[in-house]
Amino acid sequence: MTTNESWEGLRLDGRTVVLGIIGDPVAQVKAPLPLTRLLQARGTNAVLVPMHVRGEAVGSLLDALHVVHNFAGIVVTVPHKQRVAALSMELLPAAQRARAVNVVRRTPHGWQGDLLDGAGFLRGLVRSGFDVEGRRVGLVGAGGAGCAIALALAEAGAAAIDVHDVDETKQLALVDRLRALGHAAGRWDAASPRDLVVNATPAGMRPDDPLPISPSAILPGHTVAEVIMEPSITPLLAHARQLGARVVPGRHMMDEQLEAMADFFFDGDQR
């Protein structure tokens, strides 16, 4: 299937509302076509387009886009989720708790941000047959996605969330935040086994990336989940399969978020 064929039948004209998805890099994102198809199937004349933006330019980008009247909002991906949340805007409760956003919508007076990653990740796990309650989680990555996932798993009844990050400041900040909310949390060496291992880092997007954890953290029958969508089966997931673990690819998090994204940007408004 060519790129043109994949977009066949979609509406694009002078009344089309534009959404952007920003990241650095952005070539790996999968949301533009499925979210566009979903919106147009719902009767909303809108498209989602990828935008490769460096971190230092994110603030000026939002300033510029706010004057575009047919621009509705932004899907935020790696590594900008915490950077965007730190800009001047209204944050909804999930974004406030995690101090990160993955969706931002244009309002008459500025921007409003929310974080759908945690809920989407949790729904994907449940759909794959994993019961979070009472399980001990090993989480690699205390960035925007990691914070959202940690909070969602803790609120769903995980026994403990143990966190590893190469940035010790981020690691300790997430552990402290979880504890302040009444959840069991600790530092993780990324080598001790856990019922559920979650990679919330970009490690695995490139073929030469090292594994984000030690293989000793994975046991047969345990579950390893990714947030990376490309490749679908990362080296970590391939290795986990070889060790007899169940794997949950990153695509599940996006798939579970599409309806929520459409509702967030348009709130049932048919354009």
Q: What is the pLDDT of residues 8-39, one digit of tens each?
A: 889 999 999 999 999 999 998 889 999 999 99
Answer yes or no: is 137 within a domain.
yes
- As a whole number, the mean pLDDT across the chain is 93
Whether 108 and 229 share a structural domain: no
Backbone angles phi, psi at 25, to 5 degrees: -80, 180
Whether 270 has a pLDDT exceeding 60, the answer reads no
What is the arithmetic mean of pLDDT over 93-103?
91
At 101, give phi and psi (nearest 5°): -135, 155
Q: What is the pLDDT of residue 271?
A: 40
Check residue 187 and report its DSSP letter. Answer: E
Examine the domain organization and report whether 73 and 191 are in the same domain.
Answer: no
Specify which of 2-6, 41-45, 144-148 reaches the highest per-range mean pLDDT. 41-45
Q: Are residues 228 and 136 in the same domain?
A: yes
235 and 142 within one domain:
yes
Residues 242 and 148 in one domain: yes
The CATH code of the domain that includes 237 is: 3.40.50.720
Residue 241 lies in a domain: yes
pLDDT of residue 3 exceeding 70, the answer is no
Give tens-digit pLDDT for 157-173. 999 999 999 999 999 99
Mean pLDDT score, 45-72: 97
70 and 135 in a single domain? The answer is: no
Three-state DSSP at 248 gives: strand
Task: Indicate whether 167 belongs to any domain.
Answer: yes
- Taking residues 76-85, what's their average pLDDT? 93
Q: Say yes or no to pLDDT of 269 above 50.
A: no
Provide the 3-class DSSP secondary structure of residue 268: coil
* 101 and 134 inside one domain: no
Query: Which residues lie closer than 8 Å to 20 by C-beta, 6 or more apart?
Result: 48, 49, 50, 51, 65, 71, 73, 74, 75
Same domain flag for 103 and 48: yes
The answer to whether residue 222 sits within a structural domain is yes
Residues 53 and 33 in one domain: yes
Query: Which domain range does residue 141 map to?
Result: 118-253
Residues 189 and 229 in one domain: yes
What CATH code is carried by the domain that includes residue 108? Answer: 3.40.50.10860
Is residue 57 domain-shared with residue 122, that is, in the same domain? no
Residue 268 has pLDDT above 90, yes or no: no
pLDDT score recorded for residue 165: 97
Check residue 212 and give its pLDDT.
96
Confidence of residue 2 (pLDDT cuts 50, 70, 90): very low
Tell me: pLDDT of 126 over 50.
Answer: yes
**161 & 110 share domain:** no
Task: Please state the pTM of the whole predicted model.
Answer: 0.83
User: Does the annotation mark 81 as catalytic?
Assistant: yes
216-232: average pLDDT:
94
Overall domain count for the chain: 2
- Confidence class for position 175, pLDDT limits 50, 70, 90: very high
pLDDT at residue 6, as a whole number: 65
Does position 244 have pLDDT exceeding 50, yes or no? yes
**How would you classify the pairing of strands 160-164 and 110-114?**
unpaired
Angstrom distances, CA of residue 231 to CA of 19, 112, 183, 228: 24, 31, 33, 7
> What is the mean pLDDT of the segment spanning 86-114?
94
pLDDT at 5 over 60: no
Q: Let me know if residue 204 belongs to a domain.
A: yes
Q: Is 221 contained in some domain? A: yes
53 contacts 105 by C-beta, under 8 angstroms: no
> How many Å is the Cα radius of gyration of the chain?
19
Instruction: Report pLDDT for 35.
Output: 96
Of residues 2 and 212, the one with the higher pLDDT is 212
Q: Which member of 50, 78, 81, 85 is catalytic?
A: 81
Average of pLDDT values for 143-167? 95
Q: Per-residue confidence at 192, pLDDT binned at 50, 70, 90?
A: very high
In a domain, 271, yes or no: no
Q: Is residue 171 assigned to a domain?
A: yes
The amino acid sitting at 241 is R
